[in-house]
Chain A
């Protein structure tokens, strides 16, 4: 039987060690004084309990083995992409469609005194011009920090901030019209770094800040930090700098809006959060949600850069409402750099202690975060900078004090590994230094401190499956670590790092009690299944995961499953593609929906054949009785028809809602996830000490994804993550020119793919993916995330490898040749390298 049974009892509540500092201001409710919205109605207990399946959630549903799951399956949209038939937002062209362009600020900080668009409006081919006054409503992805307008109404807060939009017959006319719009600015002093932001509260970047330039401050402390640090044998104290970076999806942001004569708005947009966009469109445009349809076409990469609403979506919609014609906006690459939401620059000051036997004692972290001009996800980022800081290690005590500030630069946001990649870098470098201090192998130190399965972290995160030790074993073996670490010649080295990451954030961005993911499944006599789901495939293979699950459950061929996704008219809500949640959450919803139909078919056949239901197997297009497949066999199509005759029209729903998790303190829900993935990297570098060039020869990536539903897709994520981290480590600089003669500060140094240097295929190391499967009890077939976790160890593994190679500590990103040369020139780098070799030779036994 499939039924919803009470959830097994949760693990015992953690010891309450969290103390909230007096400086923490409570987050205000989203709409003070309002009654509880209908969506917050308390659900029935049974609704919150995941169904318990006879065959279990983690094992094969048809017989003893998987038939689709675990195979190297093709992606469902792969052929359309490689043959150029996939329809991206910019491929959409509607009759009478207009093109719009945004006018952007040339000042980092300026009051908008007056905008005169009369000359632009008079141009032939110009159909409408809008400014901030036309879209005054504030929006923002986090309900508590809505501080953005589609077009700045009173002032511009960074070079590139949008202040007007023109719709015209062509892009060229729209672009020329932008130059005819006269904006009178009153230039204000600009804040472009963290220290300036703190030192000059009187120059306020964002008026929505509660004080000065403070975006968010978090101070959390778990366990007796000072006491344990005091009692440590060694304490390493260091400052790290993590440079900001952009996502760099190949497809820039693009949307097409069509407002029809009945007052219905359809928006096609390159987004990864169709549902949140839907809500904010309604808010800003003043339309009811039921008169808006958001469709996500095929997306050419996002990496977190499309996980909130952007100016173009509101402007295209508004311009369509004004002109009565469809309107397209396609950002240039330069505009993508201004829309940004990339990785936050962070300055991290850490003190970490260890005992001589290798046991970690505690960490004291002070973190400053450069947020850019708006909040975006910043409230969450600030928590993330500390919530996963010590994982995957059992750290008995730590404290973090994180401050996010506003600056007059493009707004930072979530980039693959949101908020936790920077602290991971600092912590894994700390570990390497501590291991060196006590003369222990850095892999041994990690192994010694690894938290167990079914553990709870000191800050209250529930950890279920944990394959970290296996990850360490795999990279150690594959890289021949024991024979080569600390033994390679000068210039060559190996480095290790580890990490843990969430499989979906446990809570929706706006508080409600409705499901986080849902699937409607349709199956009919044609032998074809259609999955309807709000899931957002941004290239990672989310749609394919649903198809694999349906194939596994119903024995269908991959070609006979269609996925209809991310269309708010057709699909039930899923919150979108962020925090590595799709496989885990939509996958579970889909598994539950498909299992119901599988059961109906199995029941029908069991009855017809006179066998036990458990005897019925649906696989490879056939339905058979496993006990006598020669006697009892039908095509799956015939089996579906039998079930349709027996039960009526075949359809089912499934949904996912995570259990209540997290620490019992403000912010304790952030970092909480139903499951965690684990990763270890070993990087090998070859450095040119004469020039400072670091060549990463190879990265071994071992990742515990629970179960690989399609190993080739998991490997793609592992390689892509390692590549992205490698690019941030060595190449990427999202930096700004200082003020000089003729201009103010805050101008991006080179907002193009030529000057913002992402590594090419020639620069990229060999990447070896080693999949570890811990089979999570709550994941679909045991699966956990693979899209973001494998990025985290990339940067520190390279930094630690450079130390093994050259004896220098790269504590600041990027490790560019000039930066490496500067470190080599300081002090006695070569002698430090000799010492590290000698030190290891004498104390190696202890490792």
Chain B
């Protein structure tokens, strides 16, 4: 079978312990929580860390609590736990639903919120064995100098493939980052950057500790739609998260995130003019869907037909909006 490379394994029992490990060996550590993404990537030699730092012993990352600030979710909550958390299902159902659509039950039992948020970007030319990547001459993201998706491209376009992130962004969630200088909160939208090689703002001595769904984000209507060839296992080939304020007769605002296109989830722009004051009807949905189609351009980075994925953007945006208001076509 595919082998794991040789690495040191440490399992600190506190967050400070984790931060000390990261600081002691800058750039040489890989954080592992559930390992569902890290282990296959290690076997494919996509990560070649000197040291693997396990988060399994850090109890504080497993907390979920509600207070005046909102709903706090520890980074090491499993995706199964997330999908069943009553407060999440009540106020932010699209996040719970997105978590329930990740891969398979076994993977959701191991995979975590933090892991899914920090999921390495994916590409048909990257998520392969060493032999396979050698046969294509490697690529920009690992071991090579060319991009096979955008032949003249100098920037990696591997796809952001997290299911929970689009839903979190739609609701306006914030991400807590811990590092040597302490902790800071950034908006989930700002957490990601458009670079497929490393698509978030985490530095090598930092980690995600918590996600906050602010109290003010409550009261939105949300939905999440995932395009995948099979009913399980697959990463999204396209994902749409929607959070809407207002009621079916009179919408106030909408935040729509489309992802699995490029390195960063795309928060659609210019929606206020299309939804503010409008009714939640097929006319409004069609206008939003058309805007989404215009703003999104899938690439051949994930293993599915890109033209068809493009054609599915308005369909999935429309269906997500219908989900929000419980209507069918």
Q: Give A contacts to B, CB under 8 Å.
A: 104, 106-107, 159-160, 171-172, 175, 179, 252, 330, 332, 334, 690-692, 731, 737, 740-743, 747-752, 754-755, 757, 759-760, 762-763, 816-818, 821
User: What is the distance, in angstroms, from A830's C-beta to the closest C-beta of chain B?
Assistant: 16
B134 located at the interface, meaning its Cβ lies under 8 Å from any Cβ of chain A in the complex: yes
CB pair A737–B1 under 8 Å, yes or no, is no
Contact flag A816-B134 (CB < 8 Å), given A740-B148, A755-B124: no
Report B121-147 CB contacts with A as 1/0, cut-off 8 Å.
000100111111011111000001010
User: What is the distance, in angstroms, from B209's C-beta to the closest C-beta of chain A?
Assistant: 30
B231 located at the interface, meaning its Cβ lies under 8 Å from any Cβ of chain A in the complex: yes
CB pair B1–A762 under 8 Å, yes or no, is no
User: What is the distance, in angstroms, from A601's C-beta to the closest C-beta of chain B?
Assistant: 50
CB pair B311–A821 under 8 Å, yes or no, is yes
In B198-233, which residues have CB < 8 Å from any A CB? 229-233
Further contacts, 14 of them, CB under 8 A, given A160-B131, A172-B4, A742-B148: A104-B131, A332-B1, A334-B129, A731-B229, A737-B136, A740-B136, A742-B144, A743-B135, A751-B132, A757-B230, A762-B232, A763-B230, A817-B229, A821-B311
Task: Report the Cα distance A271→B62, complex, angstroms.
Answer: 47
Closest 7 pairs between A and B when the two form their complex, measured CB to CB = A762-B231, A742-B137, A818-B308, A818-B305, A106-B135, A743-B136, A172-B3
Task: Report the Cα distance A315→B144, complex, angstroms.
Answer: 32
Task: Report the Cα distance A433→B48, complex, angstroms.
Answer: 57
CB pair B315–A760 under 8 Å, yes or no, is no
What would 26 A/B residue contacts be, using CB atoms closer than 8 Å? A104-B131, A106-B134, A106-B135, A171-B1, A171-B3, A172-B3, A179-B130, A252-B1, A332-B129, A334-B132, A691-B315, A742-B148, A743-B135, A747-B132, A749-B124, A750-B124, A755-B124, A755-B127, A755-B303, A757-B229, A757-B230, A757-B234, A762-B230, A762-B231, A762-B232, A821-B311
- From A330, A737, A741, A818, give the contact of B307 (CB < 8 A): A818
- From A106, A740, A741, A759, give the contact of B230 (CB < 8 A): A759
Residue on B nearest A175 in the bound complex, by CB = B3
B197 located at the interface, meaning its Cβ lies under 8 Å from any Cβ of chain A in the complex: no
Residue on A nearest B306 in the bound complex, by CB = A818
CB pair A750–B303 under 8 Å, yes or no, is yes
Residues in A with CB closer than 8 Å to B232 are 760, 762-763
Task: Report the Cα distance A252→B1, complex, angstroms.
Answer: 9
User: What is the distance, in angstroms, from A184's C-beta to the closest C-beta of chain B?
Assistant: 15
Most buried by B among A332, A731, A817: A817
CB pair B230–A172 under 8 Å, yes or no, is no
Residues in A with CB closer than 8 Å to B26 are none
User: What is the distance, in angstroms, from B233's C-beta to the closest C-beta of chain A?
Assistant: 6
Residues in A with CB closer than 8 Å to B135 are 106-107, 159, 743, 747
CB pair A760–B1 under 8 Å, yes or no, is no
User: What is the distance, in angstroms, from A619's C-beta to the closest C-beta of chain B?
Assistant: 46
Task: Report the Cα distance A58→B312, complex, angstroms.
Answer: 58
Task: Report the Cα distance A742→B140, complex, angstroms.
Answer: 12
User: What is the distance, in angstroms, from A778's C-beta to the closest C-beta of chain B?
Assistant: 43
Residues in A with CB closer than 8 Å to B148 are 740-743
Task: Report the Cα distance A731→B234, complex, angstroms.
Answer: 12
CB pair B308–A817 under 8 Å, yes or no, is yes
Residues in B with CB closer than 8 Å to A731 are 229-230
Residues in A with CB closer than 8 Å to B229 are 731, 757, 816-817
Report B296-307 CB contacts with A as 1/0, cut-off 8 Å.
000000011101
Report B231-255 CB contacts with A as 1/0, cut-off 8 Å.
1111000000000000000000000
Residues in B with CB closer than 8 Å to A750 are 124, 128, 303
CB pair B132–A742 under 8 Å, yes or no, is no
Report B92-103 CB contacts with A as 1/0, cut-off 8 Å.
000000000000
Task: Report the Cα distance A59→B145, complex, angstroms.
Answer: 72
User: What is the distance, in angstroms, from A419's C-beta to the closest C-beta of chain B?
Assistant: 28
Residues in A with CB closer than 8 Å to B273 are none
Task: Report the Cα distance A394→B219, complex, angstroms.
Answer: 69
Most buried by B among A171, A330, A754: A754
Residues in B with CB closer than 8 Å to A690 are 315
Task: Report the Cα distance A334→B232, complex, angstroms.
Answer: 21
B69 located at the interface, meaning its Cβ lies under 8 Å from any Cβ of chain A in the complex: no
Residues in B with CB closer than 8 Å to A179 are 130
Task: Report the Cα distance A760→B148, complex, angstroms.
Answer: 30
Residues in B with CB closer than 8 Å to A159 are 135
Residue on A nearest B312 in the bound complex, by CB = A691
CB pair B146–A741 under 8 Å, yes or no, is yes
User: What is the distance, in angstroms, from A90's C-beta to the closest C-beta of chain B?
Assistant: 8
Task: Report the Cα distance A737→B6, complex, angstroms.
Answer: 32
- From B6, B127, B304, give the contact of A172 (CB < 8 A): B6
Residues in A with CB closer than 8 Å to B305 are 816, 818
Contact flag A330-B136 (CB < 8 Å), given A106-B131, A762-B230: no
Residues in B with CB closer than 8 Å to A172 are 3-6
Residue on A nearest B329 in the bound complex, by CB = A690
- From B131, B134, B136, B303, give the contact of A334 (CB < 8 A): B131
- From A171, A743, A752, A760, give the contact of B137 (CB < 8 A): A743
Task: Report the Cα distance A599→B87, complex, angstroms.
Answer: 74
B182 located at the interface, meaning its Cβ lies under 8 Å from any Cβ of chain A in the complex: no
User: What is the distance, in angstroms, from A348's C-beta to the closest C-beta of chain B?
Assistant: 24
- From B2, B144, B231, B308, give the contact of A760 (CB < 8 A): B231
B326 located at the interface, meaning its Cβ lies under 8 Å from any Cβ of chain A in the complex: no
Residues in A with CB closer than 8 Å to B136 are 737, 740, 742-743, 747
In B1-18, which residues have CB < 8 Å from any A CB? 1-6
Task: Report the Cα distance A762→B231, complex, angstroms.
Answer: 6
Most buried by B among A106, A171, A748: A106
Report B16-36 CB contacts with A as 1/0, cut-off 8 Å.
000000000000000000000
Residues in A with CB closer than 8 Å to B230 are 731, 757, 759-760, 762-763
Report B152-174 CB contacts with A as 1/0, cut-off 8 Å.
00000000000000000000000
Residues in B with CB closer than 8 Å to A751 are 128, 132
Task: Report the Cα distance A742→B148, complex, angstroms.
Answer: 8
Task: Report the Cα distance A748→B136, complex, angstroms.
Answer: 11
User: What is the distance, in angstroms, from A546's C-beta to the closest C-beta of chain B?
Assistant: 33
User: What is the distance, in angstroms, from B97's C-beta to the closest C-beta of chain A?
Assistant: 16
Residues in B with CB closer than 8 Å to A171 are 1, 3
Residues in A with CB closer than 8 Å to B6 are 172
Residue on B nearest A761 in the bound complex, by CB = B232
Task: Report the Cα distance A749→B129, complex, angstroms.
Answer: 12
Residues in A with CB closer than 8 Å to B3 are 171-172, 175
CB pair A749–B303 under 8 Å, yes or no, is yes
Task: Report the Cα distance A107→B136, complex, angstroms.
Answer: 9
CB pair B303–A741 under 8 Å, yes or no, is no
Residue on B nearest A742 in the bound complex, by CB = B137
User: What is the distance, in angstroms, from A125's C-beta to the closest C-beta of chain B?
Assistant: 13
Task: Report the Cα distance A790→B303, complex, angstroms.
Answer: 31
- From B1, B5, B130, B233, give the contact of A754 (CB < 8 A): B233
Residue on A nearest B131 in the bound complex, by CB = A104
Residue on A nearest B5 in the bound complex, by CB = A172
Task: Report the Cα distance A690→B138, complex, angstroms.
Answer: 37
Residue on B nearest A90 in the bound complex, by CB = B1
